[in-house]
Amino acid sequence: MTMPPFAALLLPGVLAALPMQAVGRDAVALKSDRAAEVRPQLPRGALEEGMPPELAVPYAAGIAALRAGDFRSALTHVRRARALSYRLSVRGPLPRWLARRHLVRTAYVEVQLNELLAVDEQLPRVIDRLDDHASLLQLRALILHNLFLAVRTYTGQSDARLLRITVAAYQESLSELGGHLRSGAQVSYAAILGERGELRAARAEFAKVAEKETQSEELDLPVAYYHLAVGERGRALARILTAARRDSWDRPGALRDGATVRAQAYRMNDFDRLRDHPRFQELITQPEEQSGESR
């Protein structure tokens, strides 16, 4: 999920890769009012695909620690994987474009873990400052959502514990949020319900957001991801096409830490189920990797 403007955490990058892990006991089979998607291996073109052993070992350890709820250990392992990714991108022997793919994914997950630890440290300190507390709760839910998707892509299964705490985090956030920030959180909450297979509930929550809000530029990627989460692949691609026609698509923005919307879509796990689609590759993967090679 994309971060709200007050906490945009954006890193440049390219595509990467990882081997599959055995399904853990916390993996969950989703019950749904729609045919469920079962993916026993990495999606084609996933940023985790093809990572060499020296990177896969620490990254796998980070994913395992994340699933166990040990976020600090997870950060240590993923940070090591990111450092190794950077070294490979500079020195080889991997092709530069492939090493940069690994760097994108490991750096992205490192940022999510680092921010989660920072938010958890700050929350007790702002409990009496209602606006700050509500904003941090929203950020925490979004980060957990991002980490849930990272684990789901890597393992090919939804992690029951992470899914449960992410849903609870959104519910807590929405109990305090109001105004403009609530719309983004509501769309994201609808999407995580879709990931849990509760499609009727997901659509009901999405319907609570005013149409004017759902059509806003700020919600282009969250709404595209929501459509993907509830199985509406065509609508997800259509909304990405809408985003691609806006000026922000390939122009850095101050509220996005100088990154483009295209770069956001490239680095997140939200659109892993679209990475093998020709239009996604044309609009996002190819131009991002070409621009990365020129840096």
User: What pLDDT, on a 0 to 100 scale, did the predictor assign at position 294?
Assistant: 57
Residue 130 lies in a domain: yes
Asked if residue 24 lies in contact with residue 155, where contact means CB atoms within 8 angstroms, the answer is yes
Residue 264 lies in a domain: yes
Residue 3 lies in a domain: no
List Cβ neighbours of 131 (8 Å cut-off, separation of 6 or more). Answer: none
Please report, for residues 144, 166, 271, the alpha-carbon distance to residue 192 in angstroms, rounded to integers and kept in the order given: 11, 8, 14
pLDDT band of residue 216 (cuts 50, 70, 90) is very high
Residue 208 lies in a domain: yes
Q: How many domains does the chain have?
A: 1
Mean pLDDT, the chain, as a whole number?
86
User: Nearest-CA neighbor of 153 among 27, 33, 288, 39?
Assistant: 39
Coil, helix or strand for 16? coil
Residue 239 lies in a domain: yes
Percent of the chain with pLDDT over 90: 68
pLDDT exceeds cutoff 90 at 254: no
Asked if residue 142 lies in contact with residue 188, where contact means CB atoms within 8 angstroms, the answer is yes
Residue 2 lies in a domain: no
Residue with tokens 């609009």: 283
pLDDT exceeds cutoff 80 at 145: yes
Residue with tokens 């990254």: 59
pLDDT exceeds cutoff 70 at 13: no
Please report, for residues 47, 170, 173, 248, 269, the alpha-carbon distance to residue 260 in angstroms, rounded to integers and kept in the order given: 18, 26, 27, 6, 16
* Mean pLDDT (whole number) for 186-200: 97
pLDDT exceeds cutoff 70 at 170: yes
Residue 102 lies in a domain: yes
pLDDT exceeds cutoff 70 at 26: no
Pairing of strands 158-159, 27-28: antiparallel
Residue 186 lies in a domain: yes
User: What pLDDT, on a 0 to 100 scale, did the predictor assign at position 151?
Assistant: 97
* Mean pLDDT (whole number) for 90-111: 89
* Mean pLDDT (whole number) for 172-177: 92
Helix (H) or strand (E) holding 158: strand 158-159
pTM of the model: 0.84
Please report, for residues 135, 177, 216, 222, 274, the alpha-carbon distance to residue 180 in angstroms, rounded to integers and kept in the order given: 11, 9, 11, 14, 29
CA 133/CA 151 separation, integer angstroms: 27
Q: What is the domain extent for residue 202?
A: 8-28+35-294
